[in-house]
Amino acid sequence: MSAAAKAHAATAAGSSGDGPSDTLSKVEMRAIEKRFPGVHALRSVRFDLRAGEVHALMGENGAGKSTLMKILTGVYHPDSGEIFVDGKQVTIPGPKAAQDLGISIIHQELYLMNHLTAAQNIYIGREPRKGFGLFVDEAKMNADAAALFKRMNIRIDPSEEVGNMTVARQQLVEIAKALSFNSRVLVMDEPTSALNETEVEHLFAVIQDLKANGVGIVYITHKMDEVKRIADRITVMRDGQTIDTVPAEGTSMARIISLMVGRELADATRAEGTGTETEMLRVAGLNRGKAVKDVSFTLRKGEILGFAGLMGAGRTEVARAIFGADPIDSGEIHVRGKRAMIKSPKDAVTLGLAYLSEDRKHFGLVTPMSVRDNVTMASWQRFTSGRMWMKDAALRKTSKEYVDLLKVKTPTVDQETRLLSGGNQQKVVIAKWLLRDCDILFFDEPTRGIDVGAKAEIYKLLQGLAAQGKSIVVISSEMPEILRLSHRIIVMCEGRITGELDGKTATQESIMTLAAQGWGKAA
């Protein structure tokens, strides 16, 4: 046990002579208020965290969960309210002050520097030194990072540059970075959004170890199965307010969903229909290094084609290669029956293809720009008068229509996109491609970081687009999502397609069997 954990455990035990207190609040937040321009984000919110517990914080996108935790970790300052740590009132002027109090956060959006290695990202500003402190001890830093990864039971080379990693591997580096502080309070904001089932199991094992060492964990997620597995208590927020705090044990997920959305949701049903026989996209013998190996498939009009597989299977790499984001070594791409030469994303968009990236922050949005400009950026040519003047009224009217269609929570279309919640940012990206009116749409992790109510809306939207004749590829790490949406399912492992399943009869077991074929074997 670390020194910090021991000190924390001693505090949790108390000194009254009455024995250990498992109800001692590690953190307490009272009557927290926060406003942004045009948004009352938090309204007299209350929240507390006990030592050695996992406290799930749940709510729809825009409910205020991330804002509340950013206040606890010093990213934002509250307009009013009180924060107590170990029973003492504190102010937290910045992230460094939070770390000094033993509070760390794993953000939903990644805050890593792509040009640095995994180890350098983890220990930046805290690098071990040698030679009278004049030089960074790279060997020790890599060894320390390797020990962290071993503790998490994951395989990542500490010397690999983060920019060369997939989003899932970057997420694991972010988690390792937070764990490196030996924090007594750890906030996890959607930590499994890009992880596969094996990696999630590893993370849960780490969480159990942290609990045993007295660390309090705030766990923000939209995944109900995770909450039932690891949470001790659940606090639900809605519209910037605390709705209720309930014990995880004995509280049904139907009750939690009702508290979150203020309404009952319909049960999940599988996709109906199979699309038409009209071939919209055909990929033959696609190869790109070791990431994509002899991939061939077809996509029909009105069909939702799911792509499943474990991390590193090559699903995203296939989509990026088709869309022209990455060069291919060989293979053919046919669009509407004609061979297409796609050298860049611009070529793909011209042919009626759209790609919603799994990393919306870097590839889907320009976050300092307004919601209006992000929604319309792929279709600006529709709103120009001559070559120079933009039709501002038309831009505003059209973007408002799509904001309303997708129920994006924003006070106005002029709001900076960076001020929206992660799920609402995702909706803005979807709106951008819907406005472009492309016929072939790739959705890579379309509901990453989106709450249960918004997920249902996105599913209904995708199914509606397919019914209108759009052809859709859905890449998802969530098998229930793949099973619910897909007419057919392509399963990949280590860059190759290992099988195809009928969406009506596929099961999680049949997908996993194909996803593990050849896993870990030499190419």
The count of other CB atoms within 10 Å of the CB of residue 50 is 20
DSSP SS3 for 314: coil
DSSP SS3 for 72: helix
Domain 275-352+438-523, CATH class in plain words: alpha beta
Which residue's entry shows tokens 């208020």? 33
Of 63, 100, 91, the C-alpha closest to 185 is: 100
Q: Fold identical between 3-102+183-261 and 275-352+438-523?
A: yes
Rounded CA gap, 34 and 44, in Å? 9
- What the block records as the tokens of 26 is 């590690």
Measure CA of the first residue to CA of the last residue in the chain; give whole Å.
41
Asked whether 364 and 357 are in contact (CB, 8 A), the reply is: yes
Rounded CA gap, 34 and 40, in Å? 6
Rounded CA gap, 5 and 10, in Å? 9
DSSP, residue by residue, 295-334: EEEEEETT-EEEEEE-TTSSHHHHHHHHHTSS--SEEEEE
DSSP-derived letter for residue 454 is: H
Rounded CA gap, 199 and 86, in Å? 32
Rounded CA gap, 57 and 245, in Å? 9
| pTM of the model as a whole | 0.57
pLDDT (tens digit, 0 to 9) for every residue of the chain, 523 residues total?
333 333 333 333 333 333 323 344 689 999 999 998 777 899 999 999 999 999 999 887 678 888 999 999 999 999 999 999 999 999 999 999 998 899 998 876 677 899 999 999 999 989 999 988 899 999 999 999 999 998 877 789 999 999 998 777 887 898 888 888 878 899 998 888 767 777 788 788 888 888 888 889 999 987 778 888 999 999 999 889 999 999 999 998 778 878 876 755 555 566 666 667 899 999 999 999 989 999 999 999 999 999 998 767 899 999 999 999 999 999 999 999 999 999 999 999 999 999 988 777 777 788 899 999 999 988 877 777 655 566 778 888 999 998 998 888 898 999 999 888 777 888 898 888 888 878 999 999 888 767 677 778 888 888 988 999 999 999 988 788 899 999 999 999 889 999 999 999 998 888 878 886 654 443 3
The CATH superfamily of 3-102+183-261 is: P-loop containing nucleotide triphosphate hydrolases (3.40.50.300)
Taking only Cα atoms into account, the Rg of the chain, rounded to an integer number of angstroms, comes to: 24
**Dmax of the chain from CA atoms?**
81
Q: Where do the H-state alpha helices sit in 21-64?
A: none
Kind and range of the H or E element at 129? Answer: strand 129-130
For the chain, the structural domain boundaries read 3-102+183-261, 275-352+438-523, 368-437
